[in-house]
């Protein structure tokens, strides 16, 4: 059983830039040497931090479904390319506060969602503090994402979302070549993988980019998150066709009106940053 330590005092970890002050820590828990905190922020939002410095999730309690963090909104650019089929099956690596899971369950009522989270206490945290709902379409698996993929050989997914960070950054076992090889094998022919990466660790980012370029030679798109070191990488098992771009353009208009996200901007940025970046190599 995972035990929560409730606190009403600010964190005493001042080793780096962190949550805005004044802030109220309403939960502090420890897992594998990490300090994980849920914080009520001065601006009225609630956030999940690692070691008081690395933000993982942020929620507006007055609108819990809304995606507050820019990277999470950019991750949803993948929806423009999602095939128009009934009952899409989606896999998410990394739960955090559950922002993406809530958003998909709310807006994609015909989807089935598998979420893999290595921290066994994160589900309870997300349900208690971040309004993650009980939903029969949501299945949460406590496992390392790379290990889970090895046991899911008979399953195929229309979309795989990769957002697995720990207190040191991108989780090593997930952001690795063997993981992406396995993930590609689990995609439907028209499926895609959306990966949240960071350039904070330049060496790790370059290695990931080189790996993905080799695995998805003509099926890789780049979407920088504005005013951030994050970048969303969209990976397709087949070369991206003009038909897919046309479909994405149509979907951008529909989804922007339906979901109130900046899909037109996402589409422009995907076109602007992808081809020149990958054509010149890593």
Whether omega before 22 lies within 30 degrees of 0, making that bond cis, reads yes
Tokens of 247: 């479909």
Q: How far apart are CA 190 and CA 83, in angstroms?
A: 7
pLDDT of residue 255: 96
CB atoms under 10 Å from CB of 150, counted, come to: 12
DSSP of 25-71: EEEEEEETTEEEEEEE-TTS-EEEEETTTEEEEEE-TTSTTS--SHH
- CB burial readout 3-16, b (16+ within 10 A) else e: ebeeeeebbeeeee
Q: Which of 163, 166, 201, 269 is catalytic?
A: 163
pLDDT of residue 185: 95
Q: How far apart are CA 49 and CA 35, in angstroms?
A: 8
pLDDT of residue 22: 53
For this structure, is 163 an active site residue?
yes
Tokens of 124: 């309870």
pLDDT of residue 84: 76
pLDDT of residue 175: 94
Gap between the terminal Cα atoms of the chain: 45
Say if CB 43 and CB 31 are below 8 A apart.
no
Q: How far is CA 142 from CA 57, 81, 117, 176, 209, in A?
A: 19, 29, 5, 19, 27
Tokens of 40: 């009520």
What is the Cα gyration radius of the chain? 18
Q: What is the pLDDT along the chain (282 residues), one digit of tens a residue?
A: 344 444 333 333 333 345 554 569 999 999 888 899 999 999 999 999 987 678 999 999 999 999 999 999 999 999 999 987 768 999 999 999 999 999 999 999 889 999 999 999 999 999 999 999 999 999 999 999 999 998 887 899 999 999 998 777 898 899 999 999 999 999 999 999 999 999 998 999 999 999 999 999 889 999 999 889 999 999 999 999 999 999 999 999 999 999 999 999 999 999 999 865 444 444
pLDDT of residue 18: 55
Q: How far apart are CA 113 and CA 155, in angstroms?
A: 12
């Amino acid at each position: 059983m995972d035990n929560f330590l409730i606190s009403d005092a600010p964190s005493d970890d001042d080793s780096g830039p962190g949550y805005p002050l004044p802030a109220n820590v309403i939960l502090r828990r420890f897992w594998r040497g990490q300090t994980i905190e849920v914080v009520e922020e001065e601006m009225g939002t609630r956030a999940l931090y690692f070691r008081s410095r690395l933000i993982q999730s942020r929620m507006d309690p007055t609108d819990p479904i809304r995606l507050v963090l820019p990277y999470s909104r950019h991750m949803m650019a993948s929806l423009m390319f999602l095939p128009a089929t009934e009952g899409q099956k989606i896999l998410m690596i990394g739960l955090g506060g559950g922002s993406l899971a809530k958003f998909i369950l709310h807006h994609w009522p015909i989807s089935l969602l598998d979420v893999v989270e290595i921290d066994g206490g994160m589900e309870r945290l997300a349900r208690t503090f971040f309004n993650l709902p009980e939903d029969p379409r949501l299945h949460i698996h406590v496992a390392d994402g790379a290990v889970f993929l090895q046991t899911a050989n008979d399953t195929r997914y229309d979309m795989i979302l990769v957002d697995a960070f720990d207190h040191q950054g991108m989780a090593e076992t997930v952001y690795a070549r063997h993981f992406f090889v396995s993930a590609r094998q689990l995609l439907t022919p028209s499926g895609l993988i959306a990966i949240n990466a960071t350039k904070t660790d330049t060496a790790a980012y370059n290695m990931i980019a080189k790996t993905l370029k080799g695995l998805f030679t003509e099926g890789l798109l780049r979407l920088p998150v504005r005013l951030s070191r994050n970048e969303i990488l969209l990976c397709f098992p087949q070369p991206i066709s003009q038909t897919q771009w046309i479909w994405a353009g149509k979907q951008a208009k529909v989804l922007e009106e339906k979901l109130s996200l900046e899909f037109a901007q996402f589409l422009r940025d995907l076109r602007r940053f992808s081809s020149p970046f990958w054509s010149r190599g890593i």
